[in-house]
């Protein structure tokens, strides 16, 4: 293997948290670069760094793409160094240990020999680090899904908005194999990655029972998402701001009595998100905390006589 290259940029803690979950701009590069974030000094908790490892010297357009990921690095000069021969993809995968959440086991290719005999197993490449299950929000969503299955909940029509690698949609269909599923993401590269992962994990593509349809869309702005509604289970692991903006569209898309799983929000943002959905006739059924993150399970109230439903967005 030839020598590798490292590109380093300063970033904020918030940017680092997002980069743990979403590297879509790089996901379809061949070979996929490895992204790592780290705190610089404990005394300066908001100052982090982004290191991107490439097998070849990064092109100017690749550097520009990296700069776009971290707005706070605007005006700084990226540090680019050539490294000694080393397989950084293997190094990163060794650092990502398999995730156990209830009946789920999520692993990278390097851990294939550790797959248990029982449970629901998914393989997600570490190079495609957004939505691998190693971020608190994704792992928390897996735990919520597992809990719903354990309580005997049944779902027939599932949507995963902001699907990333497709993992949460795969997990839902594995739990409820007769359900119809649809997954969307605003980034077409993410959908291409999710389609690859579906093939790796033998998830059937299509729009019938037990199959997953995938579309590129912002929020619910796609004819297929509208046509498939209402959903009795909708999952959205994105960010607090978009979740608040989507409260009314989600309310219109979820059936009365349906379940909404929301993630990607910090603990301090949770009450604002809950308030936005309470105004749309959702009640908080559960709230899990993972580090600084909250995962919400909301239930849509059933209509009662004399109640005037919210107007459609």
The pTM of the full predicted model, rounded to 2 decimals, is 0.71
By percentage, how much of the chain surpasses pLDDT 90?
47
- Give the CA distances from residue 302 to residues 81, 259, 281, in Å, rounded to whole numbers and listed in that order: 59, 12, 8
What local confidence, expressed as pLDDT, does residue 306 receive? Answer: 53
Structure confidence by residue, pLDDT tens digits, 236-287: 998 888 899 999 999 999 999 999 999 988 888 999 999 999 999 999 999 9
First-to-last C-alpha distance (Å) of the chain: 54
Structure confidence by residue, pLDDT tens digits, 210-232: 999 999 998 999 999 999 999 99
- Strand extents, DSSP E, the chain: 5-12, 34-41, 44-54, 79-82, 99-101, 104-107, 120-123, 157-161, 180-185, 212-216, 231-237, 254-266, 282-290, 293-300
pLDDT bracket for residue 93 (50, 70, 90): very low
pLDDT bracket for residue 94 (50, 70, 90): very low
Backbone angles phi, psi at 106, to 5 degrees: -115, 130
The packing angle between helices 136-150 and 167-175, to 10°, is: 10
Number of H helices, E strands in the chain: 10, 14
Closest CA to 281 of 297, 262, 301, 306: 301
CB atoms within 10 A of CB 166: 29
Tell me the average pLDDT across 65-74. 87
Residue 92 confidence (pLDDT) above 60: no
User: For strand 104-107 and strand 120-123, is the pairing parallel, antiparallel, or unpaired?
Assistant: parallel
d(Cα 198, Cα 214) in Å, to the nearest integer? 10
Burial 229-246 (b: 16+ CB within 10 A, else e): bebbbbbbbbbbebbbeb
Structure confidence by residue, pLDDT tens digits, 147-163: 999 999 999 999 999 99
Residue 289 confidence (pLDDT) above 50: yes
* Two structure tokens written together for 87: 């397989």
Closest CA to 50 of 32, 30, 34, 74: 34
Structure confidence by residue, pLDDT tens digits, 114-160: 788 888 999 987 554 444 444 678 889 999 999 999 999 999 999 99
What local confidence, expressed as pLDDT, does residue 257 receive? Answer: 96
DSSP 172-194: HHHHSTTSEEEEEES-HHHHHHH
Cis bond before residue 3 (omega within 30° of 0): no
What local confidence, expressed as pLDDT, does residue 265 receive? Answer: 85
By three-state DSSP, how is residue 144 classified?
Answer: helix
The packing angle between helices 167-175 and 188-200, to 10°, is: 40
Structure confidence by residue, pLDDT tens digits, 159-179: 999 998 899 999 999 999 999
Q: In this predicted model, which residue has the larger pLDDT, 199 or 27? A: 199
What local confidence, expressed as pLDDT, does residue 220 receive? Answer: 93
pLDDT bracket for residue 44 (50, 70, 90): confident
Count of positions (residues) in the chain:
313
What local confidence, expressed as pLDDT, does residue 312 receive? Answer: 42
Q: What domains, with CATH codes, occur in the chain?
A: 5-93 (3.30.70), 97-300 (3.40.50.150)
DSSP lists the bridge partners of residue 80 as: 7
By percentage, how much of the chain surpasses pLDDT 70?
84
């Amino acid at each position: 293997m030839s020598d590798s290259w490292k590109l380093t940029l300063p970033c904020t803690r918030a940017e680092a948290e997002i980069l743990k979950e979403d590297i879509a701009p790089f996901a379809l590069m061949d070979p996929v670069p490895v992204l790592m974030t780290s705190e610089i000094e404990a005394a300066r908790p908001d100052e982090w760094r982004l290191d991107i490892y490439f097998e070849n010297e990064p092109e100017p357009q690749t550097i520009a793409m990296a700069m776009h990921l971290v707005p706070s690095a605007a005006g700084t000069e990226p540090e680019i160094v050539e490294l000694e021969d080393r397989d950084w993809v293997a190094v990163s995968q060794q650092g990502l240990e398999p995730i156990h959440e209830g009946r789920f086991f999520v692993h990278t290719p390097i851990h294939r020999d550790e797959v248990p005999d029982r449970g629901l197993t998914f393989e997600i490449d570490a190079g495609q680090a957004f939505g691998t299950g190693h971020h608190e929000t994704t792992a928390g969503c897996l735990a919520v899904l597992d809990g719903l299955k354990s309580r005997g909940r049944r779902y027939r029509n599932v949507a995963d908005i902001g699907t990333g690698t497709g993992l949460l949609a795969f997990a839902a269909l594995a739990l409820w194999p007769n359900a119809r599923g649809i997954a969307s993401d605003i980034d077409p590269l993410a959908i291409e990655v999710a389609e690859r992962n579906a093939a790796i994990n033998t998830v059937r593509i299509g729009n019938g029972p037990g199959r997953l349809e995938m579309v590129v869309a912002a929020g619910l702005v796609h004819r297929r998402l509208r046509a498939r509604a209402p959903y009795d289970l909708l999952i959205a692991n994105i960010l607090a701001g978009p979740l608040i903006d989507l409260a009314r569209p989600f309310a219109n898309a979820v059936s009365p009595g349906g379940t909404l799983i929301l993630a990607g929000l910090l603990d301090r943002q949770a009450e604002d998100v809950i308030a936005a959905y309470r105004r749309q006739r959702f009640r908080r059924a559960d709230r899990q905390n993972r580090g600084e993150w909250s995962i919400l399970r909301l239930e849509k109230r059933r209509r009662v006589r004399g109640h005037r439903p919210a107007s459609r967005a």
